[in-house]
Amino acid sequence: MKPKFRHVALIGKYQTAAPAASMAASRSVLEDIAHFLDAQGCEVAFEDDTAYNMGITNYPRLTVPAIGEQCDLGLVVGGDGTMLGIGRQLAHFGVPLIGINQGRLGFITDIPFDCFKVTLAPMLQGEFEEDHRSMMQARVMRDGISVFDALAMNDVVVNRGASSGMVELRVEVDGHFVANQRADGLIIATPTGSTAYSLSAGGPLLHPSIPGWVLVPIAPHTLSNRPIVLANATEIAIEVVAGRDASASFDTQSLASLLHGDRIVVTRSQQHVRFLHPKGWSYFDTLRQKLHWNEGVA
């Protein structure tokens, strides 16, 4: 039986400074998956940096743009950080992604490696649940000019400097003044990002189907400054009023240094990331497993 996905790209987690034994183990994992895909009738290619850093030479190598243009599925082996990085890059190509978890938590890389064969086989034949995740487009505006822009699938975070006190941030929503907040920082999180930094800062969980964001202060000076859920059709602007060495991060993978008067403007991206999950997958199953709900309940 021919697979639904004929040309599959493998994208792996790698650390160039990792011990040789760790790199060898990761390479073995990727090659096991590649051999399985071969046996299923798929044409397999490796993402270029993955193949180079892992020393994999027996499969074709493709850049990320080439994967977007040529492949009809991306198989991401690693943790959520690996998935976030490739998801942003492949979003505008519309290539669906499946995640095999080698990380510690795995909210969006949800297939355990030890059962990938049983889980992947029916998915490759078309038996899966499709899950679209929204993204944010963020710009750093300085004197009316965009000096930095990035996509974020999890969150946009404005942080104080490592050695300084609080920052003061002016918050606007659709041009309407909300408040000046003194805090260690401020998080704007998507539903996907609501289980990340936002959650640890006291923010609520948002179901992925909700067209909204959550605005969460980090250690606010005024305790009545609470998280607020906003429609993702709004434009959120955060202006740096006071505080030294402030910075903005986008999914913790892109960083911009900020000056007083800089404005971080966040709007909804028109792009979505397509995730595929095993048939019968439920977001609530993921929450129960990852957040250890119901443990100890008879």
Residues annotated as part of the active site = 80
Query: Shortest CA distance to 188 belongs to which of 291, 274, 268, 107?
Result: 268
Can you say how many angstroms the Cα of residue 184 is from the centroid of all Cα atoms in its chain?
A: 23
Tokens of 24: 């060898």
Are residues 258 and 250 in contact, defined by beta-carbon separation less than 8 angstroms? no
Task: Give me Rg for the CA atoms of the chain.
Answer: 21
Query: Shortest CA distance to 175 belongs to which of 258, 218, 239?
Result: 239
At 293, which amino acid appears?
W
Q: What is the DSSP string of 57-118?
A: -SS-EE-HHHHHHH-SEEEEEE-HHHHHHHHHHHGGGT--EEEEE-SSS-SS--EEGGGHHH
C-alpha 55/C-alpha 64 separation (Å) is: 18
Query: Shortest CA distance to 248 belongs to which of 194, 169, 130?
Result: 169
Rounded to the nearest 5°, which phi and psi values hold at 165? -80, -155
The angle formed by the CA atoms of residues 11, 15 and 20, to the nearest 5 degrees, is 110
Cα-Cα-Cα-Cα torsion 100, 152, 183, 164, nearest 10 degrees, comes to 90
